[in-house]
Amino acid sequence: MVISSANALNLFGTHGDSYQAVGNQHLQESDTHHWSGEGTALVSIFAKAGSLKAEASVLDSSGRNLETVILTRSTGILRNSLNHDRDVINAAALNITLMTWNIAKKTVGRSFCTWAFYRLKLHPLAPIPGPPHWILSRLPFVWALYRGRYVTRITELHEKYGPVVRTAANEVSFTNEQAWTSLYAPRKDAAKSPFWYAPRQNNGSYGIFTAPSGITHGRFRRAFSPAFTQKSMRELEPMILHHIDILISQLQKEASKDIPLDIVPWFEYMAFDIVGELSFSKSFHTLTSNENHHLVVALRKVMTFFTQAVVPRVLGLELFWQFIVSKVSRQKRAAYNKSLNDFTHERLNSGAPPGRKYSDLMTYFSLARADGRGLTATETENAIGDIMIAGSETVATTLTSIVYHLVRNTDAHRVLTSEVRGAFKDGNDITIQAVTNMEYLNAVINEAMRLCPSLPMVLPRMTLVNFAQLPAYISPTNFARPNDFIPERWLPDSTLTPHNIGFVCLGVREGVRE
């Protein structure tokens, strides 16, 4: 059946404001119904209240509603057209995305190549040899540090590139003899890098290790110095010998069990008890009781935490560090800090214990504060935390190194045994002053610290230049047979300054005497 344009207008024209399209086309019914002839078919789609409705009804020969057929077929045509347009739009959007991505890749690639070329070839430090991947990225440094292999990697780099190595874009590491005195000789303009030497994040104050050169560092030195004079050390001698006697007694008990003994924790317990007495006249009794062993374990974890905390600092992720570190780790560190802070404030508030025969750090801190030149409350907390690390872990590390190397080097063990037994008839004759004058014993201590520095990290400044201790100590350019334990090399003086020069370690006498 064919509908002429006139009939169509009669059917739909009265609603002229509603129809949308008039066209010439043949409508063919698939399979059984075929419409032929030329004509004009009017397709009108009325949209009112969200629905389509027809305003007239025309039946074909089979009685079907012709308008319904027209609307159904026209809707399909429109749907197909819309799908086609959508495909075209999607294809165009994909092409634009790919073009943008290609442009971005080329731009980023060229920018990276330009930046890398500058760092490796045009940078002021470019003539200094070093591993390219360390110069271009901090990730190798972070990875080595996080795995506890940073010192080993620095040693390997110096073995490969020589005594002067560029270890980052703006950092240079040295192992030659001249650098030791040139970099760390005391001078007023030896500024510390604010990147590495910054206030503590938990309280915004400095510690003895991080205090910048000048007035702040001077306040810390003046607060600490009286505790480490010769007179103060003589006062501390009975206390130190008391804890050493306890250690020897405990080791004898353990040895009688005839089973292998891990001696490292015992050195830690002794050093921890001594530094507790030195700081606030309080022994933790870790040598005789396991009640406070958790503090020693926590101290190890705090040192690990401090090392790993360098990672977000180097990568600029400090704000996210609290989300990276596990909740358990944060809680343990907080509990350890709270314990030390409680001991510190308890000692400051209660005063010196009665009957004590020596002055602890809190005594000198209190005197300095009374004169208006001392440390603030948070600086005091930081200082005690620093001294607990410096006075315990370093001593335990050095003692462990001494025992390890003496066990492996029977000749050195024999010579040292002969010197000690020749100098003292029994243990009661051993005093700190007497052992200080024993040449071979001091040579053994120096050699152990050379092969196993208690703090073997580099000591940075600003371009950041530093002296890498362990690589320098085992470099054949600095020592003959550098990997061998030879205490005799120390019998002449002035070969090594294991406690650094410049701002010399305040506790050097106390540490060596232990």
- The pLDDT, as a whole number, for residue 448 is 92
* Alpha carbon distance 198, 211 (integer Å): 8
Encode pLDDT of 273-319 as tens digits. Answer: 999 999 888 889 999 999 989 889 888 887 777 777 777 777 777 77
- The pLDDT, as a whole number, for residue 98 is 75
* Alpha carbon distance 167, 460 (integer Å): 12
Question: pLDDT below 70 — which residues of the chain?
Answer: 1-88, 184-196, 201, 321-328, 456-467, 493-514
Encode pLDDT of 100-127 as tens digits. Answer: 777 777 788 888 899 899 999 999 899 9
User: Which conformational region is residue 436 in: left (phi greater than 0), alpha (psi within -120 to 50 degrees), or beta?
Assistant: alpha
CATH 1.10.630.10 residue ranges of the chain are 175-513
**Which residue bears the tokens 């073995």?**
159
User: Which conformational region is residue 484 in: left (phi greater than 0), alpha (psi within -120 to 50 degrees), or beta?
Assistant: beta
Q: End-to-end alpha-carbon separation of the chain, Å? A: 115
Per CATH, the number for 175-513 is 1.10.630.10
Measured CA to CA in angstroms, residue 278 lies from 303, 377, 382, 428 at distances of 20, 19, 16, 23
Q: Which residues of 300-317 are buried (b: 16+ CB within 10 A; e: fewer)?
A: eebeebeebbbbbebeee
